[in-house]
Structure 1
Amino acid sequence: MSVTSPKETSKGGFGETVKVIIQALVLALLVRTFLFQPFSIPSGSMMSTLLVGDYLFVSKYSYGFSRYSFPFGFAPFEGRVWASAPHRGDIVVFKLPSDPNVDYIKRTIGLPGDRVQMRDGVLFLNGVAVPRERVEDFVDRDPFGREVRIPRYRETLPNGVSYLTLDIMPNASTDNTQEFVVPDGHYFMMGDNRDNSADSRVAGAVGFVPFENLVGKAQMIFFSIDEDARPWMVWRWPDTVRWNRLLDTLH
C-alpha cells in the first residue's frame, strides 16, 4: 500500500489549485472573446436608452468575428469571419475608426448605400423622413440636484424598430447636416441623445464605421447604478442601484 507524505499532498493541492485557476481564466477568455463581453456606459450619448452607470452584456457572435473581437486586436487576419450584417436600429459597440483602442456604443442608423441626413432635428433616410412622435419628457437632474425635463421622441425606422431619442436643444449644430452617403462596407451610427453625441454626423469624431470595427451587439443591462456611486459600495446598493433596469433587454 502506497502512502503520501503531507509535503506531497501540499504540493499536489497547490498544483490542482493553479490548474483550476488557469482553466477558469482560459474559459473566461473564451467566453469574453466568442460569446459575451461586459461593458459599462461612461457617458450620456445614448440617453435615455442607456444611462451612465449601466453595465451591459454585448454578444460577440452577432456580426461574426474580426481581429477586434480578440483582446488587443492581436488576431492576424483582416475582415470578418462568419460575418452577419447589423440591422437598422441595432445598438452596437465598435472600435473608433480613428483610434481602435477606444470603444464606442451607438445605434445603427444607416446601412451601406443609404443616404442619411438631419433636417431641423428630423432624421431622413433615403430622402424620406423617419416618423417621429413626441412622448413624455425624460426627467433628469442637474449637478445641483434640480429637476430637468428634456423633450423626448419616439422614432420608428423603416424596418419597424422603434426607440426613444432626446432633443435637448432646438437647432443644435447636428440638427441640420449635409446628406451622407454610406460607403460599401461601412455603417452610419448615431446616439439617441441627439444633441449630445459625437457620432457619424461628425466626421472628425467618428465618421463612417467600417464593418471590421464592429465588436458586438448590446443585448442586456445586467446591472445599473447611479453615476455618482460605485458598484463595490454594496452598503449603498439599496439607494443607488437602479433595480428597475436590471436584466432589461435592449432594442
Structure 2
Amino acid sequence: MAKDLQEPEKKELTTEEKQKKVRNEIISWILIIAAGFIMALLVNKFVIIKVEIPSSSMENTVMTGDRLIGNRLSYVISKPKRGDIVIFKWPDDRSENYIKRIIGLPNETVTIKDGKVYINHSETPLDEPYLKEPMMPEEDMEFQVPEDCYFCLGDNRNVSEDARYWINKYVPRKDIIGKPLFRYSPKLGLVK
C-alpha cells in the first residue's frame, strides 16, 4: 500500500533535452518581444500620434512644451467639426505637423473683421470661449474654404502664425492626421 502512494520517480533529462528546453524557452521569449515590438510600431503608425507643442500659438488650451497623444482614427468614420483641435500636415511644408483649431468648414466663407470671426456673412461673430485673449483688430480678411478643406487658426491669435498668414491657406481633409486626446507631459490632462 505504501508503495502505491509514493510519487513516481522523475526521469533525469539528458543534456540534449535540457538544451532543447532552454532553446525553446529562448525562442518563445524572442517571439513575444518581437510581437510586442511589431504591435507597438503598428499602433504608433496607425492608431496614435505623439506631438510636442513648440510655440505659444494654442495657449491657453495647450502650452509651449506640452506633449500630447492624439488619435489617428478620430476621423476615419466621422468628419472634423468646427472647434475641433486637429493635428495635420502643414500645407506650406507637408513634412511638418501642426496643431490648430478648425474654424472654417468646407465651402464656408470665413470673414475676420474687427478682431472677430464670422461664418458665411453672419451678423453674429463666432463664439470662441477658448481664445487666450481678444484678437487684435487687423485689416479685414475673407477666406472661401474649398471643398474637402478646412480653415484653421490658433487659440492665441495675437501671436499665432496660422492660416491667415500661410501661402496655402487651407488644410485638405487628407492631411488631417488626428485629434489630440490628452496631455502626458509636463502634467496629465485632457485636451479640449
Alignment gaps of 5+ in structure 2: 1-10
Could you tell me which residue of structure 2 aligns to residue 48 of structure 1? 60
Contact 1:189 1:200 in 2 (8 A): yes
Contact 1:177 1:201 in 2 (8 A): no
Q: How does 1:85-104 map to 2 (within 5 A)?
A: 85-104=79-98
* Structure 1: distance between partners of 2:161 and 2:23: 56
Contact 2:56 2:63 in 1 (8 A): yes
Contact 1:59 1:218 in 2 (8 A): yes
Residue number among 86, 104, 110 corresponding to 2:104 in the alignment:
110
Are the structure 2 counterparts of residues 4 and 61 from structure 1 closer, same or farther at C-alpha, using a change threshold of 3 Å?
farther
Could you tell me which residue of structure 2 aligns to residue 212 of structure 1? 174
* Structure 2: distance between partners of 1:121 and 1:63: 30
* Structure 1: distance between partners of 2:157 and 2:68: 21
Contact 2:68 2:185 in 1 (8 A): yes
1:130 aligns with 2:128: no
* Structure 1: distance between partners of 2:103 and 2:15: 66
Q: Show structure 1 runs of 4+ deviating over 6 A.
A: none
Are the structure 2 counterparts of residues 164 and 18 from structure 1 closer, same or farther at C-alpha, using a change threshold of 3 Å?
same
Residue number among 169, 183, 198 corresponding to 2:146 in the alignment:
183
The amino acid of 1:118's aligned partner reads I
Could you tell me which residue of structure 2 aligns to residue 200 of structure 1? 163
Percent identity between matched residues is 35
TM-score (norm 1): 0.64
Q: Which has the larger radius of gyration?
A: 2
The amino acid of 1:163's aligned partner reads Y
Residue by residue, what CA displacement relative to the aligned partner does 1:41-73 show, whole Å, maximum 9, x if unpaired? 111110111101212121111111xxxxxxxxx
Once the two structures are TM-superposed, the CA of residue 96 in structure 1 deviates from its matched residue by 1.2
* Structure 2: distance between partners of 1:17 and 1:90: 43
CA RMSD of aligned residues (A): 2.3
- SS of residue paired to 2:56: coil
